[in-house]
């Protein structure tokens, strides 16, 4: 693998504390296939649905969830394994409490690289945001990651030509840091909510972290989700850095369009529910009466809100599903902008 001059491997440290399901004295688990995610606060509802959707699709590897705060209450009902981890429908679920001041969006490459370095992930590693659910058979993801770093195109600014002024600003900043010219001309802008990497191509994670370091040197704080408006070159630090890594990493990429996350019709791989109105927070009837019916991602979340992990009582989940069904019916007659 070619090393890019001027890119340093700083920024990736073993600053993860083990708590909850795994203690520091416990031998770390290890698996050829690992799915990881990062969550805090009420995003544990999304983690439950993500895990259920993975198991439903045939995933039988290790799900590794980094968290801040408290472990979700639904873990108490899960069957425990002898190593302290949890059995979720044939897959294994483990948790790490994360000791970092970084916004979790900015912690992704560091987290993933640590899982490779500690050999928690032996061969293949996928990161999913906790507001994603998987739609298709897991065997597709196994095949996909063999072809290169697996990515999905964003819907907002998803088409970003190689001559786009934001991309030119990234290149200028990279050249100023001694990186030289990009290796790959990129025409698409990728979403940082999902990344699949094999051990053979994990140098991508180092470049991604180095691109975040480049953002820090250009005034971005480590605790922010966004900075300024889109006219600022590093407006969305984790995602902009991911796209810089796609330009400067000497590894193959395998990308799907915006349909891959359900942003446009025709997809089959995932639903990614963007925005603050996550499906576990929505009052579906209130949204429907304001002209916004449940999205396909909302419905898929509710389908996967039960399984090996049950974050709701049956009564509560039944109520949410009924609300969503009524809201969907309202949406057939009343929709904002229609």
Domain map (residue ranges) of the chain? 16-259, 277-331
Q: What is the mean pLDDT of the chain?
A: 92
319 Cβ contact partners less than 8 Å away, ≥ 6 residues apart: none
Q: Is the entire prediction scored with pTM above 0.85?
A: yes
Confidence of residue 27 (pLDDT cuts 50, 70, 90): confident
According to the model, what pLDDT value does residue 334 have? 80
Q: What are phi and psi of 151, to 5 degrees?
A: -140, 160
pLDDT of residue 65 exceeding 50, the answer is yes
CA atoms within 13 A on the CB side of 222: 9
According to the model, what pLDDT value does residue 26 have? 57
CA atoms within 13 A on the CB side of 35: 26
Q: Name the one residue in this structure whose structure tokens are 């799907």.
A: 256
According to the model, what pLDDT value does residue 23 have? 44
| Residue 322, both tokens | 């009924």
29 Cβ contact partners less than 8 Å away, ≥ 6 residues apart: 22, 62, 64, 83, 85, 92, 94, 120
Cβ burial, residue 75 (10 Å; 0-12/13-18/19+): middle
Confidence of residue 333 (pLDDT cuts 50, 70, 90): confident
Per DSSP (E only), the strands in 102-205 are 121-128, 132-134, 149-153, 190-198
Q: What percent of the chain has pLDDT over 70?
A: 92
Confidence of residue 337 (pLDDT cuts 50, 70, 90): low
pLDDT digits (tens, 9 = 90+) for 3-16: 333 333 333 344 44
pLDDT of residue 201 exceeding 80, the answer is yes
Instruction: Please give the span between the terminal C-alpha atoms of the chain, in angstroms, as a whole number.
Output: 52
Q: What are phi and psi of 39, to 5 degrees?
A: -150, 160
pLDDT digits (tens, 9 = 90+) for 181-195: 999 999 999 999 999
Which of 3.40.50.150, 3.40.50.2020, 3.90.550.10, 3.40.50.300 would CATH assign to domain 16-259?
A: 3.90.550.10
Task: Please say whether the beta carbons of 67 and 93 come within 8 A.
Answer: no
């Amino acid at each position: 693998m070619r090393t890019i001059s001027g890119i340093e491997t700083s920024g990736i440290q073993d600053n993860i504390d083990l708590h909850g399901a795994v203690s520091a004295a416990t031998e770390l688990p290890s698996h050829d296939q690992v799915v990881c995610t990062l969550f805090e606060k009420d995003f544990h509802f999304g983690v439950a649905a993500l895990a259920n959707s993975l198991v439903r699709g045939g995933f039988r590897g290790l799900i590794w969830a980094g968290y801040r705060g408290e472990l979700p209450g639904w873990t108490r009902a899960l069957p425990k394994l002898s190593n302290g981890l949890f059995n979720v429908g044939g897959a294994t679920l483990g948790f790490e409490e994360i000791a970092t001041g970084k916004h979790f969006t900015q912690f992704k490459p560091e987290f993933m690289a640590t899982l490779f370095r500690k050999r928690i992930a032996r061969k293949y590693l996928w990161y999913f945001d906790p507001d994603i659910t998987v739609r298709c058979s897991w065997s597709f993801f196994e095949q996909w990651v063999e072809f290169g770093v697996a990515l999905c195109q964003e819907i907002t600014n998803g088409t970003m030509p190689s001559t786009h002024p934001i991309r030119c600003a990234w290149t200028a900043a990279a050249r100023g840091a001694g990186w030289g010219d990009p290796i790959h001309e990129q025409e698409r802008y990728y979403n940082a909510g999902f990344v699949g990497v094999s051990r053979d191509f994990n140098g991508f994670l180092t470049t991604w972290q180095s691109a975040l370091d480049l953002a820090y040197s250009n005034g971005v704080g480590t605790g922010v989700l966004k900075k300024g408006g889109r006219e600022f070159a590093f407006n969305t630090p984790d995602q902009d850095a991911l796209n810089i890594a796609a330009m400067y990493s000497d590894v193959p990429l395998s990308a799907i369009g915006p349909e891959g996350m359900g942003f446009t019709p025709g997809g089959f791989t995932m639903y990614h529910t963007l925005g603050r109105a996550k499906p576990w927070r929505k009052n579906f009837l209130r949204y429907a009466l304001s002209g916004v019916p449940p999205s396909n991602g909302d419905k898929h979340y509710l389908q996967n809100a039960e399984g090996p992990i049950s974050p709701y009582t049956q009564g509560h989940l039944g109520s949410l599903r009924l609300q969503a069904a009524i809201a969907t019916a309202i949406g057939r007659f009343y929709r904002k902008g229609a």
